């Protein structure tokens, strides 16, 4: 299984619901598949998600995210020129750099201060405010997952791990139907998938160490 059509079929098979079931329409299942994919992405910065680098304008100390740049999910680092800007808690940034304190200069810290309103994304501030306005910073980030819409759309994760999407989507759907026993069973399998995926990331070949026997020529 790898595309939306195959994931949908797998979820139906796992839950034992036919295509004629009006409580589990294709749209309902697709919504939960996409939600599951989003939740899996939030569990870890998986290598298949890939890092994105983008030059982002800064106006009055706030990043202005261009419409043609992918929406960020996790920011890994921010650079002002060759200088890395370090993340700080929003409360620390706001306390240290108030409107009357801090002045302008080369930004040294940044913070996610949350949503300013429902129509905008999360607000990222850098402080001190750049002396040049507008300025530009380089942001390295993980983007939000792209929704699966067409039957042929595929998630970014490798095919061998797509069972995690099925297990999580089934858990969410069982919870929706208040089927606790089924939800717990699906949740256990989902946890097993996550453990398997994390274990695969940790696999590496360490440096070889020669074994020296007493009396050998080494």
List pLDDT tens digits, range 71-92: 898 899 999 999 999 999 999 9
Kindly report the number of other CB atoms within 10 A of residue 126's CB atom.
24
**In whole angstroms, what is the distance from residue 113 CA to residue 95 CA?**
12
Give CA separation, 125 vs 28, 52, 86, 137, 206, in Å: 37, 19, 11, 11, 40
Dig out the tokens for 31 from the structure. 């919504």
C-alpha of 67 from chain center: 19
How do the domains of the chain map onto residue ranges? 4-47+156-201, 51-143
CA 174, 178, 184, 187 dihedral sign is positive
Residues in the chain: 218
Nearest to 195 by CA among 155, 174, 153, 167: 167
For the chain, how big is the Rg over CA atoms in Å? Answer: 23
Tens of pLDDT, residue by residue, the chain (218 residues):
589 999 999 999 999 999 999 999 999 999 999 999 999 999 998 988 888 999 999 999 999 999 889 889 889 999 999 999 999 999 999 888 876 556 789 999 999 998 876 556 789 999 999 999 899 999 999 998 999 999 999 999 999 999 999 999 999 999 999 999 999 999 999 999 999 999 998 874 344 444 445 554 44
Summary mean pLDDT of the chain: 89
């Amino acid at each position: 299984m790898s595309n939306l059509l195959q994931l949908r079929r797998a979820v139906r098979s796992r839950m034992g619901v036919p295509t004629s079931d009006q409580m589990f329409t294709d749209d309902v299942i697709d919504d939960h598949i996409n939600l599951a994919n989003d939740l899996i992405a939030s569990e870890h910065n998986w290598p298949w998600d890939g890092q994105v680098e983008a030059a982002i304008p800064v106006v009055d100390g706030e990043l202005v995210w261009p419409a043609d740049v992918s929406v960020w999910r996790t920011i890994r680092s921010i650079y002002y020129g060759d200088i890395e800007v370090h993340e700080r808690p929003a409360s620390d940034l706001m306390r240290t750099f108030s409107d009357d304190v801090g002045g302008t200069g080369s930004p040294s810290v940044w913070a996610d201060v949350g949503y300013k309103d429902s129509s905008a994304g999360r607000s990222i501030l850098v402080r001190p405010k750049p002396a040049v306005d507008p300025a530009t910073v380089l942001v390295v980030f993980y983007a939000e997952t792209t929704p699966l819409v067409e039957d042929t759309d595929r998630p970014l994760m490798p095919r061998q791990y797509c069972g995690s999407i099925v297990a999580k989507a089934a858990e969410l759907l069982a919870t929706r139907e208040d089927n606790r026993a089924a939800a717990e069973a699906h949740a256990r399998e989902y946890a097993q998938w996550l453990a398997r995926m994390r274990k695969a990331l940790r696999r590496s070949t360490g440096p070889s160490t020669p074994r020296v026997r007493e009396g050998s020529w080494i």
